[in-house]
């Protein structure tokens, strides 16, 4: 089954060996240098259970040449076509003894540059001076997310678990999902592999139980222009 068919039918796909050891080492080195040299950056979030860098591709732009290697660029173009750009990125580092977990949810918001009252754009929030809003379902349905795995990720260190094909149900309250009749999959990914998923896919992650670190670069993509002068606040067009 092709990646495109897997994503359409299940809401996700896993592709291993997208990055070699050297590419992963370069990514780790660039991230560590950035966090070491500027530990108090406003986009950094640090706690006992999680370290995160928001707007990652803007905070550590030198990683983009390694992230968008020929393998990943080919996967994106062959699976989704041309015209997509980055709309959001986050780096997650879940430490070895992390008790951090995330309950089942859909990714319903996008990051934008300002607040404008537009029909069907709702649930506005502001976090770290950045506006977020829930757009119409049609925008979310066309977008996709790539999660790049810096470490091997298993059920024991917080691999995502998903409800297969839940992305096809539209925007849905969690209590309206019939868990007894749904198929749950734990998405284990090798170091250097990726997971591609649709924003409306219900996903969650458990606490770490095996004392193994889990680092992931999460990047969201779209090809849609927003209405009435609204702009993606992290929009970055990738040049070949």
The mean pLDDT of the chain is 92
Query: Model-level pTM?
Result: 0.94
User: Looking at the predicted structure, is the pLDDT value of residue 44 above 80?
Assistant: no
- Which range has highest mean pLDDT (1-10, 36-45, 145-154)? 145-154
Q: What percent of the chain has pLDDT over 70?
A: 93
Asked whether 210 and 57 are in contact (CB, 8 A), the reply is no
pLDDT in the model for residue 239 = 67
Distances (CA, A) of 98 to 7, 36, 105, 194: 30, 21, 20, 22
Burial category of 224 from C-beta neighbours within 10 Å (exposed 0-12, middle 13-18, buried 19 and up) = middle
**Better-predicted residue by pLDDT, 192 or 43:** 192
Residue 128: its pLDDT value, please?
77
Instruction: Tell me the C-alpha to C-alpha distance, in Å, between residue 55 and each of 30, 42, 89, 188, 217.
Output: 15, 11, 5, 25, 11
Chain segment 215-228, per-residue pLDDT in tens: 999 999 999 999 99
Helix, strand, coil distribution of the chain in percent, nearest 5: 25, 30, 45
Q: What is the pLDDT of residue 98?
A: 73
> Which helix (H) or strand (E) is 1 found in, with range?
none
Predicted local confidence at residue 28, as pLDDT: 96
Spatial CA neighbour of 84 closest among 195, 200, 199, 220? 220
pLDDT confidence of residue 240: 59
Instruction: Copy the structure tokens of residue 122.
Output: 């709702």
- 7 Cβ contact partners less than 8 Å away, ≥ 6 residues apart: 13, 79, 144, 196, 197, 198
Task: Please report how the helices 70-80 and 3-10 are oriented relative to each other, as an axis angle in degrees rounded to 10.
Answer: 60
**Residues 168, 180: Cα–Cα separation, whole Å:** 18
pLDDT at 51 over 70: yes
Which run of H or E residues covers position 6? helix 3-10
Q: Which helix (H) or strand (E) holds 107?
A: none
Q: Which pLDDT band holds residue 178 (cuts at 50, 70, 90)? A: confident
Give the pLDDT score at 46: 66
Listed in sequence order, the residues at least 6 apart from 27 whose beta carbon sits closer than 8 Å to its beta carbon are 19, 63, 66, 67, 148, 150, 217
3-222 CATH: 2.60.120.620
Q: Indicate the range of 59-63, 70-74, 193-197, 235-239 predicted with least confidence.
A: 235-239
* pLDDT band with cut points at 50, 70 and 90 for residue 122: very high
Q: Does the pLDDT of residue 135 top 70, yes or no?
A: yes
Q: Which one is predicted more confidently, 108 or 238?
A: 108
pLDDT category, 154, cuts 50, 70, 90? very high
As a whole-number percent, the residues of the chain with pLDDT over 90 amount to 78
């Amino acid at each position: 089954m092709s990646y495109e068919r897997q994503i359409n039918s299940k809401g996700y796909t896993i592709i291993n060996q997208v990055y070699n050891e050297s590419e992963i080492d370069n990514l780790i080195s660039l991230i560590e240098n950035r966090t070491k040299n500027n530990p108090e950056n406003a986009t950094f979030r640090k706690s006992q259970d999680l370290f995160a860098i928001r707007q990652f591709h803007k905070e550590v732009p030198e990683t983009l040449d390694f992230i968008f290697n020929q393998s990943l660029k080919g996967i994106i173009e062959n699976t989704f076509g041309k015209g997509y750009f980055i709309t959001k990125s986050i780096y997650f580092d879940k430490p070895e003894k992390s008790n951090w977990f995330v309950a089942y949810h859909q990714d319903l918001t996008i990051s934008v540059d300002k607040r404008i009252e537009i029909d069907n754009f709702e649930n506005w929030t502001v976090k770290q001076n950045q506006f977020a809003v829930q757009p119409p379902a049609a925008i979310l349905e066309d977008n996709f997310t790539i999660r790049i795995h810096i470490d091997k990720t298993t059920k024991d260190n917080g691999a995502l678990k998903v409800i297969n094909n839940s992305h096809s149900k539209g925007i849905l309250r969690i209590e309206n999902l019939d868990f007894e009749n749904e198929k749950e999959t734990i998405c284990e990914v090798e170091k250097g592999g990726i997971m591609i998923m649709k924003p409306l896919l219900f996903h969650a992650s458990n606490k770490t139980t095996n004392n193994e670190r889990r680092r992931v670069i999460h990047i969201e993509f779209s090809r849609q222009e927003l209405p009435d002068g609204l702009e993606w606040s992290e929009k970055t067009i990738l040049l070949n």
